Amino acid sequence: MKKTAPKKSAPTLKFDTNWKYDPAPESADHVVIDKQYGLFINGKMQAPVKGKYFNTINPARETVLASVADATSEDVDKAVTAARNAHSKVWSKMKPAERGKYIYRIARIMQERARELAIIESLDGGKPIRESRDIDVPLAAAHFFYYAGWADKLNYALPGKQVTSLGVAGQIIPWNFPLLMAAWKIAPALAAGNTVVLKPAETTPLTALKLAEIIRDADLPPGVVNIITGAGATGSALVNHPGIDKVAFTGSTDVGKIIQKALAGTDKKYTLELGGKAANIIFEDAAIDQAVEGIINGIFFNQGHVCCAGSRLFIQESVAATVIRKLKDRMETLIVGDPLDKNTDIGAINSKPQLDKIKALVKAGVAQGGSMHQSSCAIPSKGFWFRPTIFTGVAQSSRIVQEEIFGPVLAIQTFRTVEEVIEKANNTPFGLSGGVWSDKGSKVFKVSSKLRAGVVWANTYNKFDPTSPFGGYKESGMGREGGMHGLYPYVQVKD
The CATH code of the domain that includes 450 is: 3.40.309.10
In the chain, % of residues over pLDDT 90: 94
| 232 and 320 belong to one structural domain | no
| Closest to 492 measured CA to CA, from 281, 196, 256, 194 | 194
97: which residues sit within 8 A by CB, 6+ positions away? 151, 152
From the centroid of its chain, how far is CA 88?
A: 32
**Do 233 and 336 belong together in one domain?**
no
Instruction: Note whether 236 and 313 are same-domain residues.
Output: no
Same domain, 192 and 214: yes
172 assigned to some structural domain: yes
- E strands of 278-320, at which residues? 279-282, 312-316
Is 471 inside a domain boundary?
no
One domain, residues 173 and 288: no
Provide the number of structural domains found in the chain.
2
Same domain, 180 and 200: yes
What residues are labeled active site?
Answer: 273, 307
Verify that 326 and 445 share a domain, yes or no. Answer: yes
pLDDT confidence bin for 5, thresholds 50/70/90 = low
Encode pLDDT of 304-344 as tens digits: 999 999 999 999 999 999 999 999 999 999 999 999 999 99
Do residue 368 and residue 257 come from a single domain? no
Tell me the average pLDDT across 361-365.
98
Residues 249 and 104 in one domain: yes
Give the pLDDT confidence of 335-354 residue by residue, as tens digits. 999 999 999 999 999 999 99
Q: Is residue 18 part of a domain?
A: no
Same domain, 196 and 295: no
- pLDDT tens digit sequence for 125-157: 999 999 999 999 999 999 999 999 999 999 998
pLDDT score recorded for residue 462:
97
- Contact indicator for 93, 131 with CB cutoff of 8 Å: no
Structure confidence at residue 13 (pLDDT): 73
User: What global pTM score does this model have?
Assistant: 0.95
Residue 2, pLDDT above cutoff 60: no
Specify burial of residue 54 (Cβ count, 10 A radius: 0-12, 13-18, 19+).
Answer: middle
Q: Are residues 219 and 355 in the same domain?
A: no
Domain CATH code at residue 265: 3.40.605.10
Which structural domain, as residue segments, surrounds residue 381? 279-465
Closest C-alpha among 269, 295, 323, 324 to residue 435:
295
Tell me the C-alpha distance between 167 and 165, whole Å. 6
Compute the distance between CA of residue 187 and CA of residue 189 in angstroms, rounded to an integer.
Answer: 5
Do the domain assignments include residue 374? yes
Q: What is the pLDDT of residue 442?
A: 96
